Structure 1
Amino acid sequence: MSPISARPEKPFDFSSRVSEPSPGVFFVEGPASNWIIVSDDSGFILIDGGYPEDASLVLRSIWHVGFKPGDAKAVLITHGHVDHLGSAAHFSEAYGTPVLTSPAELAHVQGKEKHQVTLATCILNAWRPGVFSWLKHAISAGALSPKPVAAAEAWTPERLRELPGQPQPISVPGHTPGHAVILLPKAGAIVTGDALITGHSLSRHTGPQMLDAMYHTDADEALAATHALDNVEASLILPGHGPALKMPLSDALAALRS
């Protein structure tokens, strides 16, 4: 069983950080990255899981919305960066929860590959506004001690259709080689991970945008990959960073590219 940190926690107001922008879809705006709880009559799933040191917050957010963490049907991972994968190992080891990701991202999630911004790159960029404070938080949140999930599996469309919300993955490589967004068709929502965000400590504005280029494996590919979403119908955007946004996805993409 992976341990949950006993470090003193900063105050976290669940009443303001946890929202239900669509029935059965709970958006949790974490200290630096977000996670989503999706439920229906068959149970619930978790999408992404914060930094390693966010694990206790993830568990408490699940209790907050009325579920037991050990009852999760699966944990879906949009991509294997440490700020999205953080609590997944706990679910796998403590409860035997299936941890699922795209076939192209599987080696990253299992810890066999690494596609993370390097500490050296961060130090070289530390003079830029926001980078030092972001780096300080990332280190305190466990960025230097990632927790890969050796038992992670590649999802299949058939397996995903059996899960709460019937999630549908869409490949958008570039941020990482196997990054995927997850459409929740019944909710009219899309979980965009880091393919499209609405805010970040390095950004001076909120609204649809790309992450800073230093975080992408290939920034040009990441932007080009958003065209895979051009014909996707969704009116609720649930990003990996920044607030949830009720806006047609087509309008958000137009704003991102402007």
Structure 2
Amino acid sequence: MSGTRTSRLGRIDDGVREVADGVLMITRAATNSYLVDTDDGLILIDAGLPRSWSYLIAALSAHRCAPDDLVSVVLTHGHFDHVGTAERLQRDHHVPIHVHEADRPLVRHPYRYDREASRALYPLRHPGGIPALARMARSGALAVRGTEALGDVVAGVPLLGGLVPIATPGHTSGHMAFHLPDRDVLFTGDALVTFDPYTGRAMPQIVARAATADSAAALAVLPVLATTRAATLLPGHGDAWTDGVENAVVLARATGAH
């Protein structure tokens, strides 16, 4: 626990900046994780790519803390680009990893996921995504180790730090978003992003069919996010959205699946 909530820190490092009160966005290759300073201690939402480790250390250092000080890692889902540092945090620093039960097998094997379109052919149809996918590969996307996670994240049951899980299946079967009501912030993971690395498109949207299990379900669940009325949306990919989650949902539903 850092003891004092950090605010107005601005940019900490090339890949770390404050995006809400006590919330640091850690970004590597257009993939985000979030260090959240809470009354229960420091919590990491998603674990990014392996080479985001140095940025995580920089974020922790801003609180005069180290990996051993993390109280938990909470995963929105188990895809490889969201669990990249989880195995290291668990193995070397004994940080517990939490996820919805349905995504526990995916955390163990983060490349074995259901999708509606071929990953291999997708860049040929959407060449705008090639630069982002290449950056992800250079950041360790092809060498992520799976790990064991506790399948104890349940929709509506608050977690440490006051995070409220919201069931958002579609991208994966166990995908969860996390609402932090006291700061008017919603962590959407890949249920709703502002940049899609598979297409290179920057706008509120669901993730491409090459990485989504059920696009129809992913679109259908978006109104649930809107019910939070959160002012700030913090996605798994892309910039923070500060124009209200309702507006982001309208745009994403209009865009549809791709």
TM range (shorter): 0.7 to 0.9
Cross-structure match for 1:121: 118
Q: Distance in 1 between matches of 2:131 and 2:141?
A: 14
Distance across 1 between alignment mates of 2:201 and 2:154: 36
1:68 aligns with 2:66: yes
Residue 52 (structure 1) aligned to one of 43, 46, 50: 50
Read off the aligned partner of 2:123 and give its amino acid letter.
A
SS of 2:219's equivalent? helix
Q: Give aligned pairs, total.
A: 243
Q: Which residue of 1 aligns with 2:8?
A: none
Q: Deviations over 1:49-104 (max 9, x none)?
A: 11123233323332234322211110001011111110011111111111001122
| Mean CA deviation greater in 47-56 or 69-78 | 47-56
**Which residue of the partner structure matches residue 34 of structure 1?**
32
TM-score by length of 2: 0.84
Structure 1 residues 39, 101: CA separation in 2 closer, same or farther (over 3 Å shift)?
A: same
What is the distance in 1 between the residues matched to 2:79 and 2:110? 13
Q: CA deviation at 1:19?
A: 2.6
Distance 2:193 2:159 in 1: 28
Partner residue in 2 for 1:3:
none
Q: What's the counterpart of residue 235 of structure 1?
A: 231
Residue identity opposite 1:139 in structure 2: A
Residue 215 of structure 1: SS of its match in structure 2? coil
Residue identity (%): 30
Aligned to 2:136: 138
Partner SS state of residue 130, structure 2: helix
Number of the residue aligned with 1:10: none
Distance, in Å, in 2 between the alignment partners of 1:23 and 1:99 is 24
Choose which of 102, 107, 110 in structure 1 pairs with 2:108: 110
Q: Structure 1's 30 and 115: CA in aligned 2 closer, same or farther, altered over 3 A?
A: same
| Structure 2 unmatched runs, 5+ | 1-10
- Residue 138 (structure 1) shift: 3.1
Following superposition, the deviation at residue 228 of structure 1 comes to 2.4
Give the C-alpha shift of residue 255 in structure 1.
1.6
* Whole-angstrom distance in 2 between the partners of 1:217 and 1:162: 26
Distance 1:177 1:157 in 2: 13
Q: Give the Cα separation in 1 of the matches to 2:197 and 2:216.
A: 21
CA distance in 2, matches of 1:159, 1:145: 34
Alpha-carbon contact 1:189-1:236 (below 8 Å) kept:
yes
In structure 2, the partner of 1:85 is 83
Q: Distance in 2 between the 1:124 and 1:158 partners?
A: 35
Mean alpha-carbon deviation: is it higher for 30-39 or for 222-231?
222-231
Please, which of 21, 24, 42 is the counterpart of residue 22 of structure 2? 24
Q: Which residue identity does 1:193 align to in structure 2?
A: G
Q: Aligned-pair distance for 1:236?
A: 0.7
Asked whether the equivalents of residues 122 and 135 of structure 1 are also in contact (C-alpha less than 8 Å), the reply is no
Aligned equivalents of 1:134, 1:232: Cα separation in 2: 30
Is the CA contact (8 Å cut-off) linking 1:81 and 1:115 kept in structure 2? yes
Change (3 A) 1:82 1:116: farther
239-248 or 133-142, which moves further after superposition? Answer: 133-142
Distance 1:247 1:66, change over 3 A: farther
How far does residue 107 in structure 1 lie from its aligned partner after superposition? 1.9
Change (3 A) 1:171 1:158: closer
The answer to which of 203-212 and 155-164 deviates more is 155-164
Structure 1 contact 189–235 (Cα < 8 Å) conserved: yes
Which ranges in structure 1 are unaligned for 5 or more consecutive residues? Answer: 1-12
Per-residue deviation, 1:124: 1.7
5 Å matches for 1:238-249?
238-249=234-245
